[in-house]
Amino acid sequence: MEHSREVADFLRSRRDNVTPAQAGIVGGGRRRVPGLRREEVATLANISVDYYAKMERGELRGVAPEILDGVARALLLDEAETDHLHDLARAADPHPSRSRRARPEQTVRPSLQRFLDAVTGAPVWVRDRHMDVVAANPLGRALYRSMLEDADGRGNTARFVFLSPAARTFFPDWERNADDVVATLRTYAGQNPRDKGLTDLIGELVTRSDAFGQRWSAHNVRHHRTGTKLIHHPEVGDLELTYEGMELPGNPEWSMFAYAAEPGTPSEERLKLLGSIAATSETEVKSGHTTVFSHEGH
């Protein structure tokens, strides 16, 4: 992914998505496309047309944060899109080591695993920026066993969604899940443009999945913080769960997700049943926690 092309495509895609009416522009003559013109974005952002044209050619080096925020407002970017634009600008720094220090190797600390295991009423799992599941509590492993043991997914959320036929059954709302995975990966790529493992994963998925490639070209980004997940579990049936996403300061490249069911619903009863199954399985198999999360190439 050439950085200047990434910037150019992102800005153009956002400009194309904003109609003059949405931007408060009245009239404007006949248009070949429904989006804004470059000069309109420049006017709304209070910068020259030449300066914005330079940005849209992919040149963000040295662009002040205030100008980025002005362009974000002109293009009606949401929080995730605005953060992504700033990430792209930081990635244009000719000295990347100054803007982002290399992270040490991330490992599952015993204290983190003990915390996860202490949570018994809710599935909890941890994912890295390559979309690999790196840790979970027993209920989290039971909930995602289909993905963790899938030969195509290999414990990787993105590979499972786009490369495994089982994903469309496991995730009844597959289209939304697919959109979310790609938008999250696009966000991670903006934050970590020099992460070889991440770019290799994206390259693999673009090559092997047309569904991924089509979504990747849309340049959508999002923060994966909270929402609802629909799962068809092979042992307990359909589950509708809310989730909360949390950052882990001790492992800055990881995110933790906790799921819960609405009280008094069939999903709550099925989640309790899954908890009983998971407890029985953990009692029968005392083989440690890390073997489930060994991934090829990571």
Domain boundaries of the chain, sorted by first residue: 3-99, 110-293
Q: How far apart are CA 76 and CA 82, in angstroms?
A: 9
Sequence-distant contacts of 203-206: CB under 8 A, at least 24 apart: 204/159, 205/158, 205/159, 205/162, 205/163
**Is pLDDT of 287 > 60?**
no
Return the beta strands (E) in the chain as ranges.
124-128, 133-136, 226-233, 237-247, 254-261
pLDDT at 105: 62
Residue 204 burial by CB count (10 A; 0-12/13-18/19+): exposed, middle or buried?
middle
Confidence grade of residue 25 (pLDDT, cut at 50, 70, 90): confident
Q: How far apart are CA 233 and CA 274, in angstroms?
A: 9
pLDDT at 125: 97
Complete edge-to-edge strand list for the sheet that includes strand 254-261: 133-136, 124-128, 254-261, 237-247, 226-233
- Name the DSSP class of 237: E
Helices vs strands, H then E, count in the chain: 15, 5
**Is pLDDT of 32 > 80?**
no
Confidence grade of residue 288 (pLDDT, cut at 50, 70, 90): low
pLDDT at 106: 73
- Average pLDDT over all residues of the chain: 89
Return the beta strands (E) in 173-282 as ranges.
226-233, 237-247, 254-261
- The CATH class for the domain spanning 110-293 reads alpha beta
3-99 in CATH: which number? Answer: 1.10.260.40
Instruction: Name the pTM for this structure.
Output: 0.83
Q: How far is CA 29 from the centre of its chain?
A: 39
Report the SS3 class of residue 136.
strand
Q: How far is CA 139 from the centre of its chain?
A: 23
Higher pLDDT, 104 or 13: 13
Confidence grade of residue 3 (pLDDT, cut at 50, 70, 90): confident
Q: How far apart are the first and last CA of the chain?
A: 21
Segment 155-206, tens digit of pLDDT: 999 999 999 999 999 999 999 999 999 999 999 999 888 899 999 999 999 9
Confirm if 70 and 45 have CB atoms less than 8 A apart.
Answer: yes
